[in-house]
Structure 1
Amino acid sequence: SGVPKGTATLQFHMIDLQVPSYNHGGGTIPYKGQSTIACGALNNYSPPSPPSGSHSYQVTVTAFGAGNSNLGSATYTREFPEKK
């Protein structure tokens, strides 16, 4: 939700805050108003897999418009595995 008007693509990038040097990658997808992303849509993505315990993962989503103009971004952080 909250995708800026005029968005043509969404770019995703994830980092492990405890091991920021590990590249979890992400990817870019075309945006046509959808509210979900199909499983496997991010072809350069390595899911969370902490070696032990729980790690904090930060995901940044950037919206790009026509001509690859940056329309804005949002970032969130989540623990994995989630604490119960």
Structure 2
Amino acid sequence: MFFRFLSLAAVALTLQSAPVSAEFRIAFDGSGLQRCTTGRPAVVNSPAFRISGLPAGTKAVRFRLKDLDVPHYDHGGGWVEMTGDGVVPPGKFRYKSPCPPGRVHQYEWTAVAKTKLGGGKTLGTAKAQRKYPE
């Protein structure tokens, strides 16, 4: 019985001390985006992204923009090769800018961590939202 107790205690101690991986997150800076409310988006350079908790084994991230008020419209996105957590500078790819027709819409960037550029296994997904224009 004593050894069984020690085994359970060792398992509990191991579980408590196991490292917890950081959550995959993105944030973006849309401050340089030219105001557009005509409903006719322009093709523009991507914003800067801050990435944290990038899953182990990630070689590339695929970014896509979605207008949550008009989800069928394809704003596009792009691929970025990754070397670690940090900042993805602006202009790494081009996409169709937010440009709702005369009212505020909710937009969402989705970042999908992949094992290779252009495809491979999905290792994680992160999302960030913002209203435009604000």
TM-score band (shorter)?
Answer: 0.7 to 0.9
Q: 2:53·2:85 contact (CA, 8 Å) conserved in 1?
A: no
1:81 aligned residue: 133
Return the match for 1:54 from 81, 86, 104. 104
Q: Distance in 1 between matches of 2:92 and 2:58?
A: 17
Higher relative contact order (CA 8 A, sep 6+): 1
For normalisation by structure 1, the TM-score amounts to 0.84
Q: Structure 1 runs of 4+ off > 4 angstroms?
A: none
- Stretches of structure 2 lacking an aligned partner (at least 5 in a row): 1-51
What's the CA shift for 1:38? 2.2
- Partner residue of 2:81 out of 30, 42, 55: 30
Of structures 1 and 2, the larger Rg is shown by 2
Q: Structure 1 stretches of 5 or more lacking a match? A: none
TM-score by length of 2: 0.55
Q: Which structure dedicates a bigger proportion of its chain to helix?
A: 2
Q: Which residue of the partner structure matches residue 8 of structure 2?
A: none
2:90 aligned partner: 39
After superposing the two structures, state which structure 1 stretch, 28-37 or 9-18, moved more.
Answer: 28-37
Q: Percent identity?
A: 40
How much is the aligned-residue C-alpha RMSD, in angstroms?
1.6
